[in-house]
């Protein structure tokens, strides 16, 4: 069996690793260059993501991914200003109803782990532009670098603006929630003197001050990344770990008016510092000391549920078909895990290829939860007890679709 994966994101790379491990021929085509584009610094990884990594990655990769996770995140905290001090005023267990227990992952490190060993499998700078179903049941795909490829299965793991989805399921829509967010990260050393690290530990926390909510989470690597690479995955490029250090990720909800047309990371960071000017000094420090180049503005989107479609040799996973505020990365990896298992069953002759793909799609539809109401507007995940304000897991609503 030969599989083409469009998109070298979390879902596409997890799938490619899993297929390679199972001896299935796979080629990944990625629109961007090898460094990708800014997509935020951190990822709250719950058991769906970790199970996928465990199943799809070789042992060294798995160990490297786990060694560079942060500490356990079992509850979320609500912070507020009490007598001039930032204090914990509420707490809620991450019981899986809205927030699942997990650990923080550095997106850059995780991506580097996922790419290791796939150097001959991923072709960068090659966006899928269209595909065609052939009469012999195979799929032919065209790419922006002028190449074409043929396979038994084409997987659209090409994110929210998915070209595969637009051609295959043109009725699927992406809806912008109209509630943008600013997200960034700050070296932990820059906030060491504020008392914040001791106050929140590993837990995600949301500080509510007036109308502004700042969500934060500290990532302390379980093992220093440089040592972990030497120990677990020396084949991974050293540059990624050499520059890695403990950090605080933060996010701030803003209005469209506040955001305006600001886009470049340095300008987004300037806007964030302006908005933080009246906040508690600790929160101000978190924002002011952030790395400007990784500060991003995110438009939060959602894909209203897409009814069951006829099964074929083309399928879609991850953000390409369901945007899940809070856990889209986990769902993308879960989809990849399931699809890998399905394709292995087909390869072994335990199930027909189409039945296997259909089973993976059914499971994906059942578990994806885009929180959209009938009008297609986002059902906002409002903080309950303030605790669910952690703004992890967002799909960037790209134009179009
Ligand atoms: C700031 C931020 C914070 C987040 N935090 C969390 C979190 O804490 N937990 C969580 O679970 N989720 C989180 N998410 C969501 C998560 O990042 C996504 O759900 C996840 O990346 C989806 O994975 P994917 O593989 O489906 O798509 P992506 O990771 O978006 O990958 C898609 C890839 O396809 C490529 N591509 C696009 N078009 C084409 C084409 N035509 N041909 C070839 N390649 C193409 C893109 O360049 C990209 O590399 C967050 C998102 C953001 C933006």
pLDDT digits (tens, 9 = 90+) for 249-299: 999 989 888 888 887 878 899 999 999 999 999 999 999 999 999 999 988
Entry pTM: 0.91
pLDDT band for 369, please (50, 70, 90 cuts): low
CA distance 284 to 290: 10
pLDDT band for 386, please (50, 70, 90 cuts): very low
> Which numbered atom of ligand 1 lies nearest the CA of 181?
1
Which sign, positive or negative, has the C-alpha torsion 98, 103, 106, 107?
A: negative
Cα-to-centroid distance, 329 and ligand 1 (Å): 7
Q: Which of 37-41, 53-57, 264-268 has the lowest mean pLDDT?
A: 37-41
Cα-to-centroid distance, 390 and ligand 1 (Å): 18
Torsion of CA 235, 240, 242, 243, to 10 degrees: 180
CA angle 329–6–302, rounded 5-degree value: 40
CA 312 to each of CA 222, 309, 364: distance values in angstroms, whole numbers, following the listed order: 43, 9, 15
How large is the greatest C-alpha to C-alpha distance in the chain, in angstroms?
73
**Domains identified in the chain and CATH numbers:** 2-389 (3.50.50.60)
- Dump pLDDT digits (tens) for 320-346: 999 887 789 999 999 999 999 999 999
% the chain with pLDDT above 70? 91
Spatial contact of 167 and 297, defined as CB atoms under 8 Å apart:
no
Strand partners, 174: none
CA distance 304 to 302: 6
Task: Please tell me the number of Cα atoms within 13 Å of 339 on its side-chain side.
Answer: 32
pLDDT band for 370, please (50, 70, 90 cuts): very low
301's enclosing H/E stretch is strand 301-302
> Which numbered atom of ligand 1 lies nearest the CA of 319?
26
Return the residue matching tokens 């951190």: 42
Cα-to-centroid distance, 159 and ligand 1 (Å): 5
Return the residue matching tokens 């469209």: 256
The CB of 40 under 6 Å from ligand 1? The reply is: yes
- Dump pLDDT digits (tens) for 189-244: 999 999 999 999 999 999 988 888 999 999 999 999 999 999 999 999 999 999 89
The CB of 86 under 6 Å from ligand 1? The reply is: no
Question: Which tokens belong to 215?
Answer: 């969500």
> Which numbered atom of ligand 1 lies nearest the CA of 336?
25
Q: What is the mean pLDDT of the chain?
A: 89
Cα-to-centroid distance, 11 and ligand 1 (Å): 8
Cα-to-centroid distance, 73 and ligand 1 (Å): 22
pLDDT band for 391, please (50, 70, 90 cuts): very low
> Which numbered atom of ligand 1 lies nearest the CA of 163?
41
Read off the pLDDT of each residue in 288-313 and give the average, rounded to a whole number. Answer: 92
- Dump pLDDT digits (tens) for 142-191: 999 999 999 999 999 999 999 999 999 999 999 888 888 999 999 999 99
For residue 308, how many other CB atoms are within 10 A of its CB? 10
CA distance 116 to 111: 9
CA angle 231–233–235, rounded 5-degree value: 130
CA distance 127 to 123: 9
pLDDT band for 38, please (50, 70, 90 cuts): low
Higher pLDDT, 359 or 173: 359
């Amino acid at each position: 069996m030969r599989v083409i994966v469009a998109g070298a994101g979390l879902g596409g790379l997890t799938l490619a690793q899993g297929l390679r491990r199972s001896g299935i021929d796979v080629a990944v085509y990625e629109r961007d260059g090898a460094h990708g584009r800014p997509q935020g610094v951190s990822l709250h990884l719950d058991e769906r993501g970790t199970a996928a990594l465990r199943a799809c990655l070789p042992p060294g990769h798995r160990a490297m991914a786990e060694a560079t996770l942060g500490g356990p995140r079992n509850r979320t905290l609500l912070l507020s200003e009490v007598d001039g001090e930032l204090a914990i005023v509420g707490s809620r267990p991450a019981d899986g109803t809205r927030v699942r227990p997990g650990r923080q992952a550095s997106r850059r490190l995780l991506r580097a782990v996922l790419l290791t060993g796939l150097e001959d499998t991923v072709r960068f700078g090659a966006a899928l532009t269209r595909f065609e179903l052939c009469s012999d049941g195979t799929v032919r795909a065209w790419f922006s670098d002028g190449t074409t490829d043929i396979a038994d299965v084409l997987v659209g793991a090409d994110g929210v603006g998915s070209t595969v989805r637009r051609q295959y399921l043109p009725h699927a829509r992406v809806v912008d929630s109209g509630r943008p967010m600013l997200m960034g990260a700050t070296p932990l050393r820059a906030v060491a003197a504020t008392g914040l690290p001791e106050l929140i530990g590993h837990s995600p926390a949301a500080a509510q001050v007036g109308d502004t909510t700042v969500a934060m989470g500290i990532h302390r690597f379980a093992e220093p990344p440089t040592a972990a690479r030497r120990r677990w995955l020396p084949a991974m490029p050293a540059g990624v770990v050499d520059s890695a250090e403990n950090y605080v990720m933060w996010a701030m909800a803003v209005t469209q008016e506040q955001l305006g047309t600001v886009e470049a990371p340095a300008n987004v960071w300037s806007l964030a510092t302006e908005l933080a000017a009246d906040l508690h000094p600790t929160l101000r420090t978190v924002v002011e000391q952030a790395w400007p180049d990784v500060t991003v503005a995110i438009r939060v989107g959602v894909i209203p549920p897409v009814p069951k479609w006829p099964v074929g040799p083309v399928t879609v996973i991850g953000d390409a078909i369901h945007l899940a505020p809070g856990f889209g990365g986990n769902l993308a990896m879960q989809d990849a895990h399931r699809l890998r298992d399905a394709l292995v069953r087909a390869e072994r002759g335990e199930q027909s290829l189409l039945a296997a793909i259909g089973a993976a799609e059914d499971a994906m539809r059942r578990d994806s939860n885009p929180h959209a109401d009938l009008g297609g507007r986002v059902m906002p995940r409002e903080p309950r007890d303030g605790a669910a304000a952690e703004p992890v897991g967002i799909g960037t609503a790209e134009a179009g679709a």
